[in-house]
Structure 1
C-alpha cells in the first residue's frame, strides 16, 4: 500500500519548474476559454470588489443582473458610502446573506473616510476594512491591482487538492494552511490576478466536484490525483449538518392602508433587515400564546385575530416556518424593545425597505389573504 504524507509533516513547496508547468498552461487555457463576465471587462477596483462580495455563496448567473443594477444605482464608492443603509439593503434584496451588504456599506464609508474614496491596493490594508477576509483581500488585491496575493475558495481548494494530492477534509486547519501555501507559491509571477481567476474558472467549469472533465484539463499531466486514480476522492465531501428548524410568528397588524414593519438588530438571522414583526415560537404554540410573545417583542399588548397561513422557506442552515397572525391592539407602537425601528408603511412604501426574500413572501401572503381589505 502506498504511504501517504501525514498532514503534520509540513511538506515542502513544489519546485519552481513544476509550478511553472501549471501556471503557463492554466493561463493559456484561461485566455482561450474564460467566460465573458461583465466584471472581467472593467479595471474599476470598486466594481471588482462588488463582484467578489456578491459571488460569495451565490451563483454567477444570479449575480450578473444584481451587479449591473447595483452599479447603476451606486456607481462609485462615494455613492455607496453616502446612500442610506435601507437603500443598499433594498438593492440587495433577493441575494441573501445580507451581512455582505451591511459590510459593503460600512467598508465604503471607511474607504471614503480613511483612503479618500480609493480602495487600498494591498491585501494588508484591505484586511482592515469590514467584510474583508483573506479571500476577498487576495481577490481584490490581485485582480484589481495586480498584487501577487493568493486566494482560496471552494473551487481553488478543489483544484489544488487534486493537483498536489492534498489530504484532509474541508475545514481541517493543516489542510487549509497547505492550500494557502500552494496558492501563494502559484500566484508568484506575471498576471497574478488572471492566475487566480484561472484557478477559480478551472474549478467551476472543468475540475468540478462531480464528473470532472479531466480529458479537457490543461494541467492533467501535472495532476497527482489523476496520476494516482484519486480524482473522485479528493477533496473528501464536506459533512453538512442538518438544517435547524425554526418557527417564527409574524404580527400582521393593519391600520387603514398600512401595516406595521420592524427592523431587526444588526446581528443574527435577517440582521438589519425589515420584516413583519417576528418572534420565535414553538411549532405547536397556540395563536394566543404566540400573540403574547409578540406583545413582549413590541412592548404593547396585541391580540390574535386569526391565522393567515404559513410560509415555508429553506435557508442554508435553517428550515424556516413563518406563521402569519393577524393582530390588533389598543395602542399602536412607534418603538419596541426587540427592534431597532418601527414603521407603518403601505405595500408600495415597503418595496423600498431592505427585506429578505422570506419576509417578502410572507408579506405577499398576507396581502393575498386580504389583510388590507383589497
Structure 2
C-alpha cells in the first residue's frame, strides 16, 4: 500500500504538474486556456518537490525492528448502537441544510435548475457551520461504515448510513466527498483483486457520470456536444491545470510570495478567512482554483517552504499508509489518505482541516472507541 500511496502522491503533486508544462502549447493545457506562459523556474520547482517528497517518504517507513503486531477486536454492540444514533443525526443535519439551501438544494442541483453562483450564494447565506457539520457527518459516516463493515447482522444499518453519506456529498455538488466515498468502497475488500478491479471500474464510470452531472448543473452554459473534448478541456486543462497555472503566476509575481495565509487557508473554516486572501486570489489566472500542495507551500515560504512542506507531507503519507500491523486507524483513514495523495494538486492535501485532519481525528476516535487491542500476535 505504501507504494500505491507514493505513486499517487508523485503522480498528482509532480507528474500532473510537469504534464501541464509539457502540454503548454496544447489547447488542452491550462496555460493555453488561461493565456499564461510557463515561468522558467516552474519545472525545477516540481522536480525539487519530488525529491523532498521521496526523502520524507523514505524517512517515514518504520524500521523493521520497531514494528509491532497486534490483534484488534471490534466492540460490536457499541458500534451497532451508535450506528443508529448517527443515522438519525445525519437525517436531521440533511433536513436542516436542505432547508437553508432552498431552491439550490439537491433537487435543483441534479435537475440543473441552479447555477454555480446560486449554490455558492446559498452556502454563504446559510448560518455559520451548517454545511461544515453536514460534510463532517458525511466523513464520519464513511469511517463508521468502514469500522462496521465486518458486522454481518447490521447490513441494513450500514446501507442506510452509506446512502446518507452519498446524499450528503451529492447535495454539495462538489467532487471532494464523492472521491472519499468511492475510495472507501474500493478499498473495503483488500486482497480480492477481481472484486477490487470490478469496483474500481464501476466507481470510475459512476464518478465520471456524477462529475458530468454536477459540473453541468453548476455550469449550465457549457457546451458538451463533444464529450471527449469537454473532458479533456475541463478536467485536464482546468481542473488539474489551473493550480499549476496559479503557482506559475506566484513565481512570476514575487509580491504575492511570503504570505503564510495561502498555506493555512484550508486549516480554518472558509468563512473565517480574511478578505485580504480573497483579494490576492482575484489576481490569479483562475481565482476559483487552489494552488495545491506545492503551490501553497511556495506562496507561503518560497523554496524553503516547499522543501520543509514536502518532507513533512512525504513523511506523513508513509507513516499513515497501512502496513502489516493491522492498525485500525490506518485502515479507517485509508480512503482519505489515498485522496490526499492522488489529488494533492487540488484542495485535498495534507494541510487541509476538513479533508485530512478532521477525518484523521475521526479514524483515531473510532479506533479508540470501538476496537479493543488484544494479545500481541508477534
Structure (1/2) with the larger helix percentage: 2
TMscore range, shorter length: under 0.3
TM-score by length of 2: 0.24
Structure (1/2) with the larger strand percentage: 1
Larger-Rg structure: 1
TM-score by length of 1: 0.24
Q: Which has the higher contact order (CA 8 A, sep 6+)?
A: 2
